Structure 1
Amino acid sequence: MRAGELTVKDEEEFSPAKHIRRGDVVEVVNPQGLVTLKLHPPVTKTSQVRGEDTVCAPQADETCPRRALAAHYARNNPGPNEHLFAHNVSGEHQALKKKAFLRALAKAASAAGIKKVHGHAFRIGGTLEYLLRGNSFETVKTHGRWKSDAFQRYLRRHALILAPHLQDVGTLQHDFIEVAIATDEVAEDQDQPAPATV
């Protein structure tokens, strides 16, 4: 997501019609039992009227958004109609301001001895992370809500990203191709269409 979709500009007041609320986050379980978190900011950069859904999934390591949200809820406990990242400031809940968020990131990056992180780096970094995991370009494009192929201009480490897509995938594919060719040859010999396969 874009940092501005999860924060409030410094000069703005929180508005439930414009900014993401805790109630805009729901858990969804698919038929296979896989859990995702669906976030629906009511306004995004590319959808100013209806907003857009985006999803994230639990992870096995410290990057797990589900655990991070649970920790945030336990500490700050925003109400369902408050900003998703409302936190206690001088005894009252305030929406997370974008500049405060970026300052906290800069402080954390400095403490970790890494380069300062900018807001747009999340979309670039998220794109790279999912591609390095072997997800297809179309999956990453859909997940990132990219309306065009513009995300490709941000890509780095092309050799690592393309490696899973360029490999010989082994005997399973070879066996499938042999079966498919044999089926087609039999069908041609019998002058009948090939049987449907699953």
Structure 2
Amino acid sequence: MAGNYQESHGKIQNLGSRCQPNALHSTKPIGSFLGLGSVIDDLWETAIAPNTRQAYNTGFNNFILLLAGIMASVNLSNLQVTEDMLIYFVAHCYNLKLSYATIKLYMCGIKFMCLKHNIPFPSSAELRRMYAILGGVKRARGKISRPRYPVTFNILKDVGLCGYLRQKATSFEDLMMQTACIVAFFGFLRCGEFTVKTSFDHTVHLCVSDLIITDEYVMVHLKKSKTNPFREGVKLKLFKVGGILCPYVACCNYVSARLRQNPSPDDPLFIVDNGQALTRSIFIAKFKHVLQCIGINSELYNGHSFRIGAATSAAAAHVEDHLIKVLGRWSSDAYCRYIRTPQSCIREAQIALTKH
């Protein structure tokens, strides 16, 4: 079934993103007469984040493809989504080995795209059977959690991650990796905040001009982040802390080397040897390679390990909770789940219970 699905998927590409409101109605929308059609389209595009929009389009496309395989024809102008259609789609996704989270996201995408194209969609009260089926998927799949170990300060220093890169230091790329790791740690950064997914966009990603060096600290300007989706911008200050992993010194050394390449202010801040922006995949690959070189199992770490490690190291250093929230730019107590508590601390806590 998966093979047939992939074959039919190739025949219809990005249906959700191509379906415009004008194509769904025989009459011309009022907005078109007023010259507002393009404005409305733009507002639909900006109603959700780009990554969410891509996932929603994928879910909707797959849903239409399934209907095309079981119905004589699919006419979006008179389509009416039913609970049974959604139940069949959930079962179809389950057969394709998709996770519960992915299936649930696709269902949200179908609902959103139906709203966008004015396609009738059942209310929550009319979807009780479908939600029960989703619950079955959740229980059948079980909870799959990938281990995400923290990159703590101890892993970074001395003969650790940055220590290895400093000793190696045979290219500009080694200096770049060392600096990116230190900035990611002290800035509590998510991987997507200092790397690019595919192509570089100076309006979104870190540029040379986004790192400003003052006498006391380095200012890093994040144009967009997970907790700042409206691109109001966040300015992080990395102070002089001394020692071999001082973020201020690391940034100064890197910027000096980067400026010798005569970049423009809008060029990417972190680049590899071929001059291209540092992508997430390249960073993760190099990061894991270094971990293997220093004898650490790289399968237990990923790009989020720096943010987890910073929170863990801060807690171990008895940094107050409210400061950890500020450093990591958390708006809730979600930071607590990032802190990895050593077994020795648990043992000491249990011993303390016996003393009262």
Aligned partners of 1:76 and 1:87 also within 8 Å: no
Distance 2:313 2:240 in 1: 15
Is residue 111 from structure 1 mapped to residue 299 from structure 2 by the alignment? no
**How many Å apart are 1:42 and its aligned residue?**
0.8
When residues 37 and 160 of structure 1 are mapped into structure 2, their CA distance, relative to the original with a 3 A threshold, is farther
Partner of 1:83: 268
What amino acid is aligned across from residue 293 of structure 2 in structure 1?
A: A
Q: Distance in 1 between matches of 2:255 and 2:264?
A: 9
> Residue 101 of structure 1 aligns with which residue?
283
Point out where structure 2 has 5 or more consecutive residues left out of the alignment: 1-188, 349-356
In the superposition, the TM-score normalised over structure 2's length comes to 0.39
Say how many residue pairs are matched. 152
Report SS of the residue matched to 1:53: strand
CA distance, structure 2, for counterparts of residue 28 and residue 160 of structure 1: 39
Work out whether 1:138 is the aligned partner of 2:322: yes
Contact in 1 for aligned 2:200/2:268 (Cα 8 Å): yes
Equivalent of 1:5, from 162, 169, 193? 193
Tell me which amino acid in the other structure corresponds to 1:44. S
Match in the other structure for 2:332: 148
Q: Which of 1 and 2 has greater Rg?
A: 2
Shift of 1:23: 1.1
Provide the rounded CA distance (Å) in 2 between the counterparts of 1:160 and 1:95.
41
Determine the C-alpha separation between the residues in 1 that align with 2:345 and 2:248. 28
- Which protein is richer in helix relative to its size? 2
Aligned runs of 1:161-172 on 2, under 5 Å? Answer: none
Shift of residue 152, structure 1, vs aligned partner: 0.3
Residue 156 of structure 1 and its aligned partner are, at CA, apart by 1.9
Looking at structure 1, the residues matched to 217 and 333 of structure 2 have their Cα atoms a distance apart, in angstroms, of: 25
More strand, by proportion: 1
Instruction: Quote the residue 2:306 is aligned against.
Output: 122
What is the TM-score with the length of structure 1 in the denominator? 0.68
**Unmatched segments (≥5 aa) in structure 1:** 30-34, 164-198
Partner of 1:66: 248
The change in CA–CA distance for 1:27 and 1:132 in structure 2 (over 3 A counts) is farther
RMSD, matched Cα: 2.3
Identity of aligned residues (%): 28
- State the match for 1:41 in structure 2: 222
Question: Secondary structure of the residue that 2:273 maps to in structure 1?
Answer: strand
Partner of 1:17: 203
**3-state SS in 2 of match to 1:156:** coil
